[in-house]
Amino acid sequence: MRAYFLLVMCIAVVTAAVFTSGVPAQDETPPGQQQKLDKAEFESQFPLTDKNKPEPADPQVRAKRRAVGEKYNNAIQPVDERADTVVLGSHWASGLPALPVSQSQAIIVGEVTGAEAHLSNDQTGVYSEFTIRAVEVLKNDAAHPLTDGSMVVAERAGGRVRFPSGRVVLVFAVGQHMPRPGRRYVLFLKQGADDINPEILTGYELKNAVIEPLDNPSETHPILKYKGAKSDLFLADLRAAIAGTSIN
């Protein structure tokens, strides 16, 4: 009887070990599922538009939309429904310093209140527009002046396009990310004489009193110098850099 009891206990222990080894711990995510989560999180930052989205009914809004959309016509890497992603390259980050003060017409501390994606007029390119409340203007552009509390619309190439088939294509520049509504950033804005809206050159998120770069071009890019830095120290460096440059 004792031998039979020991045999039953051994079988129970082995069986429990087999089933336990096949079940992941509650706080573990299977690698394949984790990859899907990471991909979904990455794509969620890009605003979404529909391929057949109608033009604005308001004539003034429609005219402005066409004026902005013209800039993104004849895209070198056109939107293609057959592709999951369209990559625009990484040339934008070449030679960009950690604090691109002289390359920026305006620098603001801003809170993103809205985000929209749009197709170019010829539907080859896609770009995203962000509505931003300027909490503080650190460097102003005399040609397009901003004031604390004013609203500005800034843009960036890229976004997501949903086709009538339901397929969604992501268009993005390597290392470039998109600001998210409800978050606060220091944004470096570049605007040419013929541009309707300023372009987001790069930026830093003010996150729990520390700095998180908006973009991540490479592991050695100067932008990452301030990753994890205290926001007050970062802002002190930025103000000092602005003080050493001329205001446009």
* pLDDT for residue 31: 60
189, 201 in Cβ contact below 8 A?
Answer: yes
What pTM was estimated for this model as a whole?
A: 0.83
* pLDDT for residue 89: 86
Q: Write out pLDDT tens, residues 178-202.
A: 999 999 999 999 998 889 999 999 9
Q: How many CB atoms lie within 10 A of CB 203?
A: 24
The domain spans of the chain are 45-243
Helix, strand, coil percent content, the chain, rounded in steps of 5: 25, 30, 45
Mean pLDDT of the residues in the chain: 87
- Using alpha carbons only, what angle is made at residue 215 by residues 93 and 233, rounded to the nearest 5 degrees? 105
Q: How far, in Å, CA of 203 to CA of 221, rounded?
A: 14
User: In Å, how far are 45, 133, 179, 244 from 238, measured between CA atoms?
Assistant: 26, 20, 20, 10
User: In Å, how far are 51, 92, 167, 173 from 86, measured between CA atoms?
Assistant: 15, 16, 13, 9
202, 214 in Cβ contact below 8 A?
Answer: yes
Greater pLDDT, 17 or 69? 69
- Estimate to the nearest angstrom the gap between the alpha carbon of 163 and the chain centroid: 22
Beta bridge partners of 235: none
* pLDDT for residue 33: 60
203, 214 in Cβ contact below 8 A?
Answer: yes
- At 122, list the tokens: 């010829």
CATH class of 45-243: mainly beta
